[in-house]
Amino acid sequence: MSWLGWSVAGVAGGLLVWSLVEPHWPKVERRRLERDPEMPGTQGSSAGPAAPLRLLHLADPHLRKMGWRERRTIALAERLQPDLICLTGDLVAGSESLAVLEPWAAGLARVAPVFAVLGDHDLMLGPEAFRELEEALRRAGVHLLRNRSSWVSGPGWRVWVVGVDDAGKGMADLARAMAGDREAARQRGVPLEGDEVRVLLSHRATVVDEAAQKGFHLVLAGDTHGGQVNLPWLGPIAAWLKERTPYPGGLYRVGRAWLHVSRGLGWSHLPVRFRCRPEVALLEIPLLATAPTAGDPAPAAVEQPASR
- In this predicted structure, what is the pLDDT of residue 113? 96
Full strand arrangement of the beta sheet holding 279-285: 27-32, 279-285, 53-58, 84-88, 114-117, 142-144
| The pLDDT of residue 14 is above 50 | no
Cβ atoms 87, 265 nearer than 8 A: no
Percent of the chain whose pLDDT exceeds 90: 51
pLDDT band at 108 (very low <50, low <70, confident <90, very high): very high
Give the total residue count for the chain.
Answer: 308
Strands 301-304 and 230-231: unpaired
- In this predicted structure, what is the pLDDT of residue 308? 41
pLDDT band at 231 (very low <50, low <70, confident <90, very high): confident
Q: What is the CA radius of gyration of the chain?
A: 20
Question: In whole angstroms, what is the distance from residue 202 CA to residue 168 CA?
Answer: 10
- In this predicted structure, what is the pLDDT of residue 4? 41
- In this predicted structure, what is the pLDDT of residue 111? 97
| The pLDDT of residue 17 is above 60 | no
Nearest to 62 by CA among 128, 136, 146, 121: 121
Please compute the mean of the pLDDT values over residues 200-224 and round it to a whole number.
Answer: 94
Question: In whole angstroms, what is the distance from residue 227 CA to residue 144 CA?
Answer: 27
Q: Which of 35-49, 86-100, 281-295 has the lowest mean pLDDT?
A: 35-49
pLDDT band at 154 (very low <50, low <70, confident <90, very high): confident
Question: In whole angstroms, what is the distance from residue 74 CA to residue 72 CA?
Answer: 5
pLDDT band at 19 (very low <50, low <70, confident <90, very high): very low
- In this predicted structure, what is the pLDDT of residue 235? 64
CB within 8 Å of 20: residues ≥ 6 apart: 271, 272
Tell me the three-class secondary structure of 31-73, residue by residue: EECCCCCCCCCCCCCCCCECCCEEEEEECCCCECCCCHHHHHH
Q: Which of 20-24, 240-244, 253-257, 260-264 has the lowest mean pLDDT?
A: 240-244
Q: Which of 201-210, 228-237, 263-272, 286-295 has the lowest mean pLDDT?
A: 286-295
The residue type found at 167 is A
Question: In whole angstroms, what is the distance from residue 22 CA to residue 291 CA?
Answer: 46
Strands 218-221 and 197-201: parallel
- In this predicted structure, what is the pLDDT of residue 195? 67
CB within 8 Å of 195: residues ≥ 6 apart: 40, 41, 158
Strands 230-231 and 157-163: unpaired
Strands 257-261 and 250-254: antiparallel
